[in-house]
Amino acid sequence: MKRRRVTYRPSKAQGTFGMIWGGIFILIGLFVVIPTFGPFGLLWTLAAIGITVMNGYQAFGKKYTGPEITIEEDSPQHMEPPFSPVQNHDHIPSTALDAKERLSQLEDLKEAGLITNSEYEQKRKEILEKL
């Protein structure tokens, strides 16, 4: 497994949007919540100021790099080999348990235009041979 670290930084648009809404909540806190609810209004307004400042710092701060995310990728030697005609893979994924349900699913695929008539006939023959 190959690992690499990536940092995520919100876009300037996201930061601006957060700052605008934060400003609205600050104004609501100053003119509605503090006069009506007193100490709770003060807490509300301080939280709105904190959120607004954090959004501005995340979007426009020069030293903010964002949270770090580790991504694991399979290296080429661990990946499955490409399809080989020798392998016997079922090309129609199926959770059906019996032939009747598989044939019904096959018919649906044909009607939807996802498989050709020849593919339909070939797969139908394979399902019926397994009975």
> Structure pTM?
0.47
**Which pLDDT tens digit goes with each residue over 83-113?**
545 455 455 555 545 788 888 888 888 888 8
- Residue 92 has φ and ψ, to the nearest 5°, of -115, 100
Mean predicted confidence (pLDDT) in 69-84: 59
